[in-house]
């Protein structure tokens, strides 16, 4: 018998025996369902679609969905069929990524989508990030909502950075933080939105329209809150002052909508109570300037305020717009998208602040409201009543020690006027070093935007949000992109054995160079990892990327465990004589691990380093 045939026979014996014992024979690295990545990011779902059954927790709602050839295939016969499959859990902040391939399409306008917030039963409404096979079209990428009335509301569109077409694998990723999201194709960010409609219980999904699309390597990672400090290389956060008040009547729902449509991440509005205690959105202490009425807000009842025209003063096209209640404005933001920077205007009693907090909670908006005020007492009441709400102190002049004030009030941000900050720009670094964001008001000049960006401020409150969004985009073309990297293989938390040879793989953007190390030793990206040379237990693959925008790192921790298939692999690749391979595999097939270990320890026909490893693996399987 030849060496090759003897080894084949030995391998067959081991495989057959293990199969009879219901032990799976792995082929490559199989991602785990759960694990924990670097920087507290939790991988809550990771699958490469092995076998032929849908993974546990996947629910095919409409269309044809099947697993074959290591991929999930979804088909939609024509544009009227919205094939969808749901999975995952309700997550506030997460990254969803998948490798997708359009296998066929009815026409280039057909699409696939990553569902960011979809009821588990697939019913409307949905929030989707869509990609067309004709991705370089002006609407090649979209953020869209399927409304409760079963109509489309496309909130944002843009072209992809490269063509997808058919028959080509692309890595799609959407990163969601509350109502904000970023859409990336092959590691390059292409579209942002601040208008993702979120629900209390929506999960993740894949959707296919007028196409057949296959998916592989799906991963969902729960992310921590972004915080409010601007990361290096990121654009200024855009806050629409009283809505888009340069283009629509301030503090109205139409101004909010224009601000949203212009790309603002926050809508800044003012709140104060009516005579009968209902909080209304209005800046001045009287209604004289911005309505067709007159009198102090606090001296008018809610019925009187509801009857006022708050749009005609700005222009005939806005006639009939009303002064919104806080509840109405929060409900609009919840349904239409966007977060609120809410200024408690003027002095408020504790009971008045309690009413504001109650309405925020009733509208289920506590995770999307940021409270600011010139009045420290209003912030103290808010902190006492709703410690979950972030707080910002408005200032017309800087305090002698802004950091001390921020600590005393428990501030998330310190919000000075542009003029005040201009007198002492060094305060920005002091505050940010203390973990306190800086949001500057009210700035409409591109020259000042540039100066504030250079000074390191985090956000700008402006009457011209769309212009600032455009300025950010234009500046970003000349600003080095902060690099990003994710280790895609081995999957974080993977449990591997020595029969596997996972390829060391990363996904990166903005990187000029990549360095990979396994437990501190350099390895090559794209090369299989030799697990026969590693000790049992935990190991870490670390990726470091460097580019013009800086450096980024990511890690994937995995566990190497003893298994029968792993031990079989060690024996078959040991270089031992054919006779010894047959003897050892016979012991393995019968589960005689201690006898196998003793044989290896005596080094009979085995190279010394491999003999020690085989003995150790066998004793681990024998229980020590």
Tell me, what's the pLDDT at 137?
A: 87
| 37 within a domain of the structure (yes/no) | no
Give yes or no: residues 288 and 205 share one domain.
no
Give yes or no: residues 19 and 151 share one domain.
no
Give yes or no: residues 538 and 553 share one domain.
yes
| 106 within a domain of the structure (yes/no) | yes
565: burial class by Cβ within 10 Å (0-12, 13-18, 19+)?
Answer: buried
Tell me, what's the pLDDT at 16?
A: 40
Tell me, what's the pLDDT at 505?
A: 87
* Concatenated DSSP letters of 511-552: -SEEEEEETTEEE-TTSBP-GGGS-SEEEEEEEEEEETTEEE
| 537 within a domain of the structure (yes/no) | yes
Domain closes at, from 519, 535, 559: 559
Domain hosting residue 516, numbered range? 501-559
Tell me, what's the pLDDT at 476?
A: 67
Query: Tens digit of pLDDT for each residue in 262-311?
Result: 989 999 999 999 999 999 999 999 999 999 999 999 999 999 999 999 99
| 71 within a domain of the structure (yes/no) | yes
Nearest in space to 567 (alpha carbons), one of 590, 593, 538, 537? 593
Give yes or no: residues 190 and 93 share one domain.
yes
Give yes or no: residues 302 and 408 share one domain.
yes
The DSSP call for residue 495 is: E
Whether the CB-CB separation of 485 and 506 falls below 8 Å is answered with: yes
Regions of the chain short of the pLDDT cut 70:
1-40, 476-482, 624
Residue 139: CATH number of its domain: 2.60.120.560
Q: Which of 177, 241, 348, 569 is catalytic?
A: 241
Task: Give the span between the Cα atoms of 61 and 42, in whole angstroms.
Answer: 27
Query: Tens digit of pLDDT for each residue in 446-479?
Result: 999 999 999 999 999 999 999 999 998 888 655 6
Residue 300: CATH number of its domain: 3.20.20.190
Region for residue 492 given its phi and psi (left: phi exceeds 0; alpha: psi -120 to 50; beta: otherwise): beta
Whether the bond into 459 is cis, omega within 30 of 0: no
Domain closes at, from 191, 222, 253: 222
Report the run of H or E that residue 64 belongs to, with start and end.
strand 64-68
Whether the CB-CB separation of 408 and 383 falls below 8 Å is answered with: no
Q: Catalytic site residue 283?
A: yes
Give yes or no: residues 291 and 396 share one domain.
yes
Tell me, what's the pLDDT at 26?
A: 32
In sequence order, the 6+-apart residues with CB closer than 8 A to the CB of 123 are none
Sole residue written with tokens 């902040």: 93
Task: Give the span between the Cα atoms of 207 and 145, in whole angstroms.
Answer: 13
Give yes or no: residues 193 and 299 share one domain.
no
Give yes or no: residues 527 and 462 share one domain.
no
Give yes or no: residues 454 and 313 share one domain.
yes
| 103 within a domain of the structure (yes/no) | yes
| 52 within a domain of the structure (yes/no) | no
Q: Which of 283, 348, 539, 569 is catalytic?
A: 283
Q: Catalytic site residue 228?
A: no
| 135 within a domain of the structure (yes/no) | yes
Give yes or no: residues 377 and 427 share one domain.
yes
Give yes or no: residues 550 and 458 share one domain.
no
| 34 within a domain of the structure (yes/no) | no
- Number of domains comprising the chain: 4
Give yes or no: residues 550 and 567 share one domain.
no
Structure tokens at 439: 């949001």
Domain closes at, from 541, 559, 577: 559
Whether the CB-CB separation of 413 and 390 falls below 8 Å is answered with: yes
- SS3 at position 148: coil
Region for residue 378 given its phi and psi (left: phi exceeds 0; alpha: psi -120 to 50; beta: otherwise): alpha
């Amino acid at each position: 018998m030849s060496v090759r045939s003897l080894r084949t026979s030995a391998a067959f014996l081991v495989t057959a025996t293990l199969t009879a014992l219901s032990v799976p024979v792995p082929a490559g690295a199989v991602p785990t369902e759960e694990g924990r990545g670097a920087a507290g990011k939790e991988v809550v779902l990771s699958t490469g679609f092995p076998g032929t059954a849908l993974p546990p927790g996947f629910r095919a709602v409409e269309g044809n969905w099947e697993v074959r050839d290591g991929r999930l295939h979804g088909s939609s016969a024509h544009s009227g069929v919205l094939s969808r499959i749901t999975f995952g859990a309700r997550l506030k902040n997460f990254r969803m990524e998948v490798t997708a391939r359009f296998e066929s399409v009815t026409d280039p306008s057909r699409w696939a989508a990553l569902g960011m917030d979809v009821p588990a039963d697939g019913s409307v409404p949905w929030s989707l990030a869509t990609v067309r096979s004709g991705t370089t079209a002006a609407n090649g990428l979209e953020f869209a909502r399927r409304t409760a009335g079963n109509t489309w509301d496309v909130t944002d569109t843009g072209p992809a950075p490269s063509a997808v077409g058919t028959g080509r694998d692309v890595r799609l990723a959407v990163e969601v933080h509350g109502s904000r999201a970023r859409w990336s194709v092959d590691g390059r960010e292409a579209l942002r939105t601040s208008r993702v409609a979120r629900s209390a219980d929506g999960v993740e999904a894949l959707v296919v329209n007028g196409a057949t699309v296959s998916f592989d390597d799906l991963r969902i990672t729960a992310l921590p809150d972004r915080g409010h400090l601007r990361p290096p290389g990121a654009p200024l956060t855009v806050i629409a002052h009283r809505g888009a008040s340069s283009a629509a009547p301030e503090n109205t729902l139409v101004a909010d909508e224009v601000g949203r449509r212009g790309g603002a991440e926050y809508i800044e509005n003012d709140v104060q109570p009516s005579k009968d205690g209902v909080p209304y959105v209005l800046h001045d202490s009287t209604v004289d300037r911005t309505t067709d009425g007159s009198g102090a807000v606090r001296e008018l009842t809610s019925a009187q305020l509801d009857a006022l025209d708050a749009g005609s003063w700005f222009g005939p096209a806005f006639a009939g717009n009303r002064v919104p209640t806080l509840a109405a404005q929060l409900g609009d933001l919840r349904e239409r998208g966007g977060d609120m920077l809410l200024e408690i205007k003027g002095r408020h009693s504790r009971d008045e602040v309690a009413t504001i907090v109650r309405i925020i909670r009733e509208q289920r908006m506590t995770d999307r409201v940021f409270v600011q005020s010139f009045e420290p007492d209003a912030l103290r009441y808010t902190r006492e009543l709703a410690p979950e709400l972030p707080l910002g102190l408005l200032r017309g002049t800087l305090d002698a020690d802004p950091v001390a004030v921020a600590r005393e009030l428990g501030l998330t941000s310190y919000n000075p006027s542009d003029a005040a900050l201009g007198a002492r720009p060094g305060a920005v670094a002091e505050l940010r070093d203390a973990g306190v964001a800086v949001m500057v008001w009210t700035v409409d000049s591109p020259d000042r935007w540039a100066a504030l960006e250079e000074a390191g401020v985090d956000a700008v409150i402006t009457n011209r949000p769309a212009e600032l969004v455009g300025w950010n985009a234009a500046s970003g073309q000349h600003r080095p992109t902060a690099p990003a990297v994710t280790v895609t293989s081995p999957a974080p938390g993977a449990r591997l054995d020595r029969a596997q040879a996972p390829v060391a793989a990363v996904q990166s953007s903005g990187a000029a160079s990549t360095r990979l190390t396994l437990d501190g030793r350099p390895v090559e990206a794209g090369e299989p990892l030799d697990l026969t040379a590693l000790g049992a237990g935990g190991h870490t693959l670390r990726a470091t990327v460097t580019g013009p925008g800086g450096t980024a790192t990511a890690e994937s921790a995995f566990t190497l465990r003893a298994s029968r298939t792993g031990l079989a692999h060690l024996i078959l690749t040991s270089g031992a004589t054919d006779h010894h391979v047959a003897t050892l595999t016979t012991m393995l097939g019968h589960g005689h691990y201690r006898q196998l270990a003793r044989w290896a320890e005596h080094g009979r026909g085995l190279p010394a380093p491999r003999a020690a490893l085989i003995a150790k693996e066998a004793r681990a399987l024998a229980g020590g």
